[in-house]
């Protein structure tokens, strides 16, 4: 995985937006939800994979085979990925609640 920098974040956002809007917009509204769902699924899988990497690097450091810098970087990446996932979840829940409060 690349660094946590602004360029990496912008590239991920561009890829996610392209996959969400590119696939769904070209094929109609029925596939747009599938594109968004696939994007969320990939984001969750990336978060889990980042957390597993942090666990693996931490375990290697405890065994005396790792570098402290690598451990801190891996844990920071995992924390950032988890915070991003929680923020997205909160936004989705808020959007759902806003729609449910709309008068008919």
Q: Considering Cα of 22, then 23, then 28, then 34, what sign does the dihedral take?
A: negative
Give me the mean pLDDT over the 11-23 stretch.
60
What is the pTM for the complete model shown? 0.60
Compute the distance between CA of residue 10 and CA of residue 57 in angstroms, rounded to an integer. Answer: 26
Report CA-CA distances (Å) from 49 to 13, 27, 32, 52, 63: 18, 30, 26, 5, 21
Extents of the domains making up the chain: 6-101
Model confidence at 7, in pLDDT bands (50, 70, 90)? low
53-76 per-position pLDDT tens digit: 999 999 999 988 878 899 999 999
Mean pLDDT across the chain: 78
Residue 32 or 58, more confident: 58
Encoded tokens for 8: 């990496």
Compute the distance between CA of residue 64 and CA of residue 101 in angstroms, rounded to an integer. Answer: 55
Give me the mean pLDDT over the 26-35 stretch.
51
């Amino acid at each position: 995985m690349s660094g946590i920098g602004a360029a990496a974040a912008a590239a991920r956002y561009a890829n996610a937006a392209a996959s969400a809007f590119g696939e769904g917009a070209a094929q109609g509204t029925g596939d747009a939800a599938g594109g968004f769902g696939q994007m969320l699924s990939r984001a969750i899988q990336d978060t889990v994979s980042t957390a597993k990497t942090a666990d693996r690097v931490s375990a290697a450091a405890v065994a005396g085979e790792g570098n402290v810098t690598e451990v801190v970087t891996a844990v920071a990446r995992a924390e950032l990925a988890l915070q991003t996932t929680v923020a997205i979840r909160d936004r989705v829940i808020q959007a759902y609640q806003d729609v449910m409060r709309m008068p008919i």
